[in-house]
Structure 1
Amino acid sequence: MSESRRAAPARGRPRDADRDLAILDATRKLLVEVGYEQLSIESVAAEAGVGKPTVYRRHSGKAALVAAAVEHRAASVPPALRTGDLRKALLRTVEWLAGQIAGQEIGLLGALFAGMRSDPDLAAEMRRILRRDEAAMTERPFGGVPDDHLAPGAAGLFAEIVPALIVHRLVFAGQPCDRGFVEHVVDDMLLPLLQRSTTPRRR
């Protein structure tokens, strides 16, 4: 057997990390500028300075590309608190989450919301990302408060309610998540909802 047959052929070029980053950056930029509907693989390739096949080798389509661009952000975790004080823990956690969401471009969030309404594939991808983020967010939101002091399903309720309130405040109301807003959310909504009631039920 010849030497050329014994040697395993090289299987393509190794991925260029700079191209990966350029594609994801171009995707986020165009999402803000033109929206999801007008964004295309061709326009992303042109903005990133690569060929269209280069994009398709990395992402199966527009929804997968946009999801990858959204996921490509610095990982962050909520503050680890062991205060035993539910109010203090909720204030810190809501403040942290508000900062995380406010750090996203409002135009990007708007483009994603619009795209999710028209593209089921994008909606499915964004729900997958949301479930992952919710799992991380609700791992330790209550500062070591015992479970028997919390209402059933408290972590899930927190994950459903708080991001929606923050997004509404930032995107639709166009107002900051200042200390007064955070205290309103915690004192008037979360504490009454998440604390286990000690009042006996009437029979």
Structure 2
Amino acid sequence: MTGTPSTTSSTMGRPRDSSRDVAILQATLALLTEVGYEQLSMEAVAGRSGTAKTTVYRRYRDKAALVAAAVDHRAPSTPPEPASEDLRENLLALVGWLADQIAEKEIGLLGAVFAGMRSDPRLAQEMRRILNRDGAAMTERPLRVAAERGEPLVPDAAELFVEVASAVILRRVVVANEPCDQSFIEHVVDDVLLPVLRSTKGTPA
């Protein structure tokens, strides 16, 4: 077998070409938007990316793993760090960032991924792993800061934030086709998230 030894190698022992990785993932995203998850094939991705079919299969065990990796590659943005000790201010920044992340994704791509998750348990499993990881990373700092300051938060506040904020933003972007402007972000935080995340236990009726 030919090739120069490398610390990053495929299972076949050849040096891994990172440019091929990017080409494969970009081709996957393009085809996913064009034809949807059901019609997407590993062979089509190989053709679009200019790589051999065996190269694609060597990197990804199935279509679900490939699509999940492509979506994960799509927007590796970092959530904002808490700028203050005030929960509202930190939530405003976080919701604004999340709205930008969702709004920047093509509607066709979102629809294809959601449809694929409903029809393919493997894709659903892969995407939930990614979403749970990102959700935990997104909420850990601001909610921990709030808890350390004695903010009364409900159990599973992190999971609630991800579920509620994502759903409201998705409806705004996809269904209403309206911008996630500052007034909308303040509405989400003040009228939806803060009442949901703050515990009322021990509060006088």
TM-score range, shorter chain: 0.7 to 0.9
Q: What SS does structure 2 have at the residue aligned with 1:109?
A: helix
Instruction: State how many pairs are aligned.
Output: 192
Which string of whole-angstrom CA distances, capped at 9 and with x for unpartnered residues, describes residues 79-105 of structure 1?
222522222121111001111121222
Structure 1 unaligned segments of length 5 or more: list them.
1-10
Aligned-partner Cα distance in 1 for 2:147–2:61: 45
Aligned-partner Cα distance in 2 for 1:13–1:77: 32
Q: What SS does structure 1 have at the residue aligned with 2:51?
A: coil
* 2:161 is the alignment partner of 1:168: no
* Pairing 1:19-98 to 2, within 5 Å after superposition: 19-98=20-99
* 2:151 is the alignment partner of 1:149: yes
Structure 2 unaligned segments of length 5 or more: list them.
1-11
* 2:192 is the alignment partner of 1:193: no
Structure 2 residue aligned with 1:8: none
Tell me how far 1:144 sits from its aligned partner: 2.9
Aligned-partner Cα distance in 2 for 1:135–1:167: 19
Name the larger-Rg structure.
1
Note if contact 1:89-1:143 (Cα within 8 Å) is conserved in structure 2.
no
Note if contact 1:67-1:125 (Cα within 8 Å) is conserved in structure 2.
yes
Instruction: Say which structure, 1 or 2, has more relative contact order (CA 8 Å, 6+ apart).
Output: 1
Q: What SS does structure 2 have at the residue aligned with 1:75?
A: coil
Which string of whole-angstrom CA distances, capped at 9 and with x for unpartnered residues, describes residues 66-90 of structure 1?
0111111453322222522222121
Tell me how far 1:139 sits from its aligned partner: 1.1
| RMSD (Å) for aligned C-alpha atoms | 2.0
Letter in 2 for 1:36: Y
Tell me how far 1:41 sits from its aligned partner: 0.8
Note if contact 1:82-1:144 (Cα within 8 Å) is conserved in structure 2.
no
Note if contact 1:84-1:143 (Cα within 8 Å) is conserved in structure 2.
no
Q: What SS does structure 1 have at the residue aligned with 2:80?
A: coil
Aligned-partner Cα distance in 1 for 2:16–2:174: 37
Tell me how far 1:138 sits from its aligned partner: 0.8
TM normalised by structure 1 equals: 0.87
* 2:104 is the alignment partner of 1:103: yes
Letter in 2 for 1:27: T
Q: What SS does structure 1 have at the residue aligned with 2:154?
A: coil
Q: What SS does structure 2 have at the residue aligned with 1:76?
A: coil
Note if contact 1:63-1:125 (Cα within 8 Å) is conserved in structure 2.
yes
Aligned-partner Cα distance in 2 for 1:192–1:110: 30
Structure 1 residue aligned with 2:7: none
